[in-house]
A and B are shown apart, each in its own frame.
Chain A
Amino acid sequence: MSDQKKYQRYERQVILKNFGIQAQDKLFYAKILVIGAGGLGCPALQYLSAAGVGKIGIVDFDVVELTNLQRQTLYTVNDIGKPKAITAAEKLKLFNPETQYLVYQTKIEPKNALEIIEEYDLVIDGSDNFATRYLVNDACVLLHKPLVYGAILRYEGQVGVFNMPDKNSGYTANYRDLFPLPSNPATVPSCNEAGVLGVLPAIIGGFQAAEAIKICTGIGEPLCNKILSCNVLNNSFYEFNISPSKESSSYIPSTKEAFKNYNYEWFCSPGNPVNEITPAEFDDLRKREQLIIIDVREEDELPLVNEFRYTQIPLSRFKEAALEISTENKIVVFCKSGKRSVTAVNALLKKYPNIVAYSLKGGIDNWKMYEHSNLKNSSPIQL
């Protein structure tokens, strides 16, 4: 490709003062991993792809749902039920075929995280749960990779850059310096439960893409060791400066081996008294006895379940409806990710202390993944 043609598409940023061909060339060689192709991931991916980033990795195991479309703008109604990561990559390939896309249709876990992240210069965290956030943070600390953090809820969002020294102090901070240990998940609402304004992730995900571009090209001042908080209701921005602390870094697994054996799911649900069963245990129990299986997801949530019979009682109506549940059989409650089912089991146990009730660990997503695990391949698909 002639030089003129190579830069033509990016002309509007190449002509920028302090950007130029030099910064564009850096983007051509940049390798960025986006974890989560959801609310934050969609806008970040679109702008990184549009900017001409050379290689983009996309990690997501989830499928597109109708309720995602309000904010996850890479997907259409025709994509409902399709896996997000590959669907996103196919769309991006149309927007910018010059970028190489690597699709990891898998859950990021201690056993695969280091291997995946190692391939990239920088990571964007667009995940939607604390277990993944702590896992990604710790992996990036161990591998010395800059991490562009972003998180959202309702009308508020946060963005920041970890593991990257700022110009003045030279030190690096990370998520553990903000919140060394996870809080009780019951006290922190998720977007599924608390809602989120559709345009908010576009603002925060856009910020994350901007930070990633700044870091890869070396322009401007990235939000190193800072968290920028934004509230779209009153247009307020507030900056927090983070100092690294010895105590918080002591919580990070000290070696790669220790990291691989760290149970982030358990770590992020401390003091959880609810009995959880794994997908394997659940399948075994279903074979052996008659169970009452309850789905506490809201109506229309995906994936659809037609492998076994169950009753649907959305968590929002659980308190009234649960009174009618027969308690003679063992009860297994599931939701999407295994969080709301814990709340439901707790509510059941409060009402009927003598019943045997379990929460399906990792939710129906985890069960589906277990069921299909023989067909799955953890190496990336290249587009």
Chain B
Amino acid sequence: MEINVLAFGQVADITGKTSWKVPLVKTTNELNQQLIKSYPQLQSTTYLIAVNKKIIQESVELNTDDTVALLPPFSGG
């Protein structure tokens, strides 16, 4: 019972990895809180959350083997 987490850009800088697994939690909010606990710098970082490639605006339920991606904004051109 796990979920996959993918990190991009500055989020991956903070977490130190681009892809890993965590034990299943009930919602994206809960997962986000856990991530912030493990990586406090995430608190002051902007990123969007996508569950199975779909960008979400509000917390959604998570199921085993879901993939949660964390994408920060890039401004470079």
Binding site for B on A (CB under 8 A): 36, 38-41, 125-130, 133, 150-154, 156-158, 177-179, 182-184, 187-191, 194, 196, 201, 227, 229, 231, 234, 236, 238-243, 245, 247-248
**Given A187-B10, A239-B53: A36 touches B45 (CB 8 Å cut-off):** no
Does A152 lie within 8 Å of B9, measured CB to CB? no
Residue contact B55 to A240, C-beta cutoff 8 Å: yes
Report the separation of the CA atoms of residues A41 and B76 in the bound assembly, to the nearest whole angstrom: 12
6 new A-B contacts, CB < 8 A, other than A133-B75, A156-B74, A191-B76, are A156-B9, A178-B55, A183-B45, A188-B72, A238-B8, A240-B54
**CB distance B77 to A188 under 8 Å?**
no
- Chain A residues with CB under 8 Å of B77's CB are 36, 38-41, 125-128, 150-152, 191, 201
CA distance A153 to B73 in the complex (A): 10
Question: How many A-B pairs fall under 8 Å by CB?
Answer: 98
Chain B residues with Cβ under 8 A from A191's Cβ? Answer: 76-77
B interface residues, Cβ below 8 angstroms from A: 6, 8-10, 18, 44-46, 48, 50, 53-55, 57, 69, 71-77
Whether A183 pairs with B54 at a CB distance below 8 angstroms is no
Contact between chains at B76 and A153 (CB < 8 Å): yes
State which of A183, A184, A190, A227 has its C-beta within 8 Å of the C-beta of B71.
A227
A239 to B72, CA, bound (A): 14
29 A-B pairs within 8 Å (CB atoms) are namely A38-B77, A125-B77, A128-B77, A151-B74, A151-B75, A152-B74, A157-B74, A158-B71, A178-B55, A179-B46, A183-B45, A183-B73, A188-B10, A188-B73, A189-B10, A196-B76, A201-B77, A227-B71, A229-B8, A231-B18, A234-B18, A238-B6, A238-B53, A238-B69, A239-B53, A240-B53, A240-B69, A241-B53, A241-B54
Which residues of B are found within 8 Å of A240, using beta-carbon distances? 48, 50, 53-55, 69, 71
Find chain B residues with CB under 8 A from A184 CB.
44, 46
Taken together as a complex, chains A and B put the C-alpha atoms of A309 and B45 apart, in Å, by 38
Taking a contact as CB atoms closer than 8 A, the residue among A38, A178, A201 that contacts B48 in the complex is A178
- Asked if residues B75 and A129 are in contact (CB atoms below 8 Å), the reply is yes
Q: How far is the CA of A189 from the CA of B73 in the complex (A)?
A: 10
Contact A156 B8, beta carbon cutoff 8 Å: yes
- A126–B75 Cα gap in the complex (Å)? 9
Residues of chain A lying within 8 A (CB to CB) of residue B74: 151-153, 156-158, 188
Known contacts A229-B8, A231-B18, A245-B57; A187/B75 CB under 8 A: no
Assembled-state Cα–Cα distance A241/B54 (Å): 5
Question: Which chain B residues lie closer than 8 Å to A236 at the CB level?
Answer: 18
Please name all residues of chain B whose beta carbon is closer than 8 Å to the beta carbon of A189 when the two chains form the complex: 10
User: Which residues of chain A are within 8 angstroms of B57 by Cβ–Cβ distance?
Assistant: 243, 245, 247-248
Residues of B within 8 A of A247 (CB): 57
Q: Which of A41, A128, A201 contacts B75 (CB 8 A)?
A: A128
Once the chains are docked, how many angstroms separate the CA of A231 from the CA of B73? Answer: 15
For residue A248, which residue of chain B has the nearest CB? B57
- Measured in the bound complex, the distance between the Cα atoms of B73 and A187 in whole Å is 10
The answer to whether B46 touches A183 (Cβ under 8 A) is yes
A contact residues around B6 at 8 Å (CB): 238
Q: A187-B45, A188-B10, A240-B55 are in contact. Are A178 and B73 (CB under 8 A)?
A: yes
The answer to whether A243 touches B73, judged by C-beta atoms less than 8 angstroms apart, is no
The answer for the CA separation of A179 and B18 in the assembled complex, in Å, is 21
Kindly state the separation between the CA atoms of A371 and B74 in the bound complex, as whole angstroms. Answer: 31
Chain B residues contacting A248 (CB-CB under 8 Å) are 57
Q: From residue A93, how far is it (CB to closest CB) to chain B in Å? A: 23
Q: How far is the CA of A190 from the CA of B75 in the complex (A)?
A: 6
A158 to B9, CA, bound (A): 10
Which chain B residue has the least Cβ–Cβ distance from A185?
B75
Write out the residue numbers on chain B whose beta carbons fall within 8 Å of the beta carbon of A154. Answer: 9
Q: Contacts of B76 on A, CB cut-off 8 Å? A: 39, 128, 151-153, 190-191, 194, 196
CA distance A228 to B44 in the complex (A): 25
Contact B8 A179 (CB under 8 A): no
Nearest B residue to A177, CB-CB:
B55
- Measured between beta carbons, the chain A residues less than 8 angstroms from B55 are 177-178, 240-243
Instruction: Specify which of B6, B54, B73 lies most central, judged by the most chain A CB atoms within 10 Å of its CB.
Output: B73
